[in-house]
Amino acid sequence: MEYKPIGAAKRTRTVRRGLPESAYWKRFASPVLVKEHGMVTWMEFSPTQPHDLLVTAAMRVQLYGARTGQVRRTFGRFTATARSGSFRSDGRLIVAGDDANSVVVLDARSRTVLRSFRGHSDPVHVTRFLPDRAHVLSASDDRTVRVWDMASQAEVSRFDGHSDYVRSGCVVSAGVVATGAYDRTVRVWDVRAARSVATIAIEDPVEAVTALAGGGAVAVAGGPGVHVHDLVMGGRRVATLGNHEKTVTALCVDGARLLAGSLDHHVKIYDMQAMRLVHSTTYPAPVLSVALSPDATRLAVGMTSGVFSLRTRRTPPNASSESATRDLLPPPPLPAADLRIEQRRRKGLADYDRLLRKFHHARALDAVLANNRTGMTVVALLQELTHRGALVAALAGRDELSLDPIVRFLVKFIDHPRYTPVLVAVADALLDIYADLLLQSDRIAALFVRLRSKVRVELRVQQEMQMLLGSVDMLMAASRVAHAPAAAVASDDDGAAAAMPQ
């Protein structure tokens, strides 16, 4: 008869199947934390290879290398806090605003200031290049939105529709931009016609606005929600994504995905086709800025603590073309006379199973305790010894060293609900065998004192639970008694009403 190894009863586990989206975003692992000189208010990746990262913090804008993660260039010619450093579409120029009310255009390689635009009367929080590469958009706390000409350094358009600080903006399409302000509105401007073409009102001050893929809709961050508005339908709201607990401060688009960062320390990713949350990541401080590289391999998150996190997406190594070709080809056919027989390798027995198979009960118990086995495995072996009637024989005849791990196991797991019935029987057997010898070993005596204390605590808890159950039963009984007379009176009233003559 074949020996059947001891198998601990497996507990039913709830299998949580993550979404494919969640598995994709979990590949952005191993964050690199970089300390800046102030709050990281804006981040942006270069649109051209190798997609270096531009970080705006304090009174400087710094360019970090995509491969090394080290500072390549520092643009520090600001006399006040820098804002919204942004690349031109060819990656050669950078535009940024500052709290000194100016807008500057810098050469991304030489760090030279090429243009400086002055006209705002308050800090400039939004700067962007327009798609034609010849004009610059800026928005300020002076409640104005302006368009500047690169060649002449002159202001070509000015929009005055907002009534409070303008803190966010984006380019929707060629000639169309959108800006959000603390007046709780988003205004869509036609740069060519120099007029407002749509006004979107929301319930909270606007912290961020970004155009979704295709340019037909915008996502607006205000308060703890992200609102999606269809520009083709005149700015009508089509959805609200309310999964954050605090103000959403940053938005970033990746095709059909929207990344939203918030002061609640979370960056949440939404599927904009299904309008649902697909993944969430927690950060150590409130989030102020979020950026994703154009090739979707690096995720950067800036925080109020002056630290930004840079995560790189792990990609599985590509198999060689030879192995791929080999995998695609079918195996060569076997000759008709050959017969192939599959042999299944038998799983070897554990050391305690081998000893138990030979009826070495005491040694099997020592083996299962010596190799840090799980509690379930040790209890399963103790159950097997009990069923064989060999428990006392396995416990008897031990010295202080061999008895120590058994008593320590009892002290650790005696109050475990699943193990208690078996371990109580083991403790009884040990006391029967070694009761007269406990005073000969201080170590074993101390362990039994700990075991007694733990059993007393468990008994006290069980007594309190029984008292609590008794109180609950009394309350339930009183409640039933209180409802019974009311039901009887109601039935009597119904009977009297039925007996009255009509």
Location of structure tokens 């603590």: 305
**Confidence at residue 377, expressed as pLDDT on a 0 to 100 scale:** 86
Give 338's contacts (C-beta < 8 A, 6+ positions apart).
none
The pLDDT value given to residue 16: 47
- Measured CA to CA, the distance from residue 218 to residue 483 in angstroms comes to 59
On whether the CB atoms of residues 178 and 218 are closer than 8 A, the answer is: yes
Identify the CA nearest to 83 among candidates 118, 50, 109, 44: 44
pLDDT for 308 equals 92
Closest CA to 46 of 354, 292, 235, 305: 292
- Dihedral (CA of 30, 275, 243, 221) sign: positive
Kindly give the parts of the chain with pLDDT less than 70: 1-4, 7-19, 316-347, 372, 483-502
For residue 338, the model assigns a pLDDT of: 47
For the entire predicted model, the pTM comes to 0.60
Three-point CA angle 179, 133, 252, nearest 5°? 45
Residue 440 three-state SS: helix
What's the CA gap between 411 and 230, in Å, rounded?
Answer: 65
What long-range pairs does 282-287 form, CB within 8 A, spacing at least 24? Answer: 283/309, 286/246, 286/249, 286/262, 287/249, 287/250, 287/261, 287/262, 287/263
Q: What whole-number distance in Å separates Cα of residue 72 and Cα of residue 53?
A: 10
What pLDDT, on a 0 to 100 scale, did the predictor assign at position 323? 38
pLDDT at position 445 is 85
Can you give the pLDDT at residue 263?
A: 95
Contact 150, 105 (CB under 8 A): yes
Q: How far is CA 239 from the centre of its chain?
A: 23
Q: What is the CA radius of gyration of the chain?
A: 36
**Residues 255-309: pLDDT tens digits?**
889 999 999 999 999 998 888 999 999 999 999 999 999 998 999 999 999 999 9
pLDDT at 449: 87
Q: Any long-range contacts for 412-415 (C-beta under 8 Å, 24+ apart)? A: 412/375, 413/375, 413/379, 414/451, 414/454, 414/455, 414/458, 415/454, 415/455, 415/457, 415/458
What integer pLDDT is reported at residue 344 of this predicted model?
A: 58
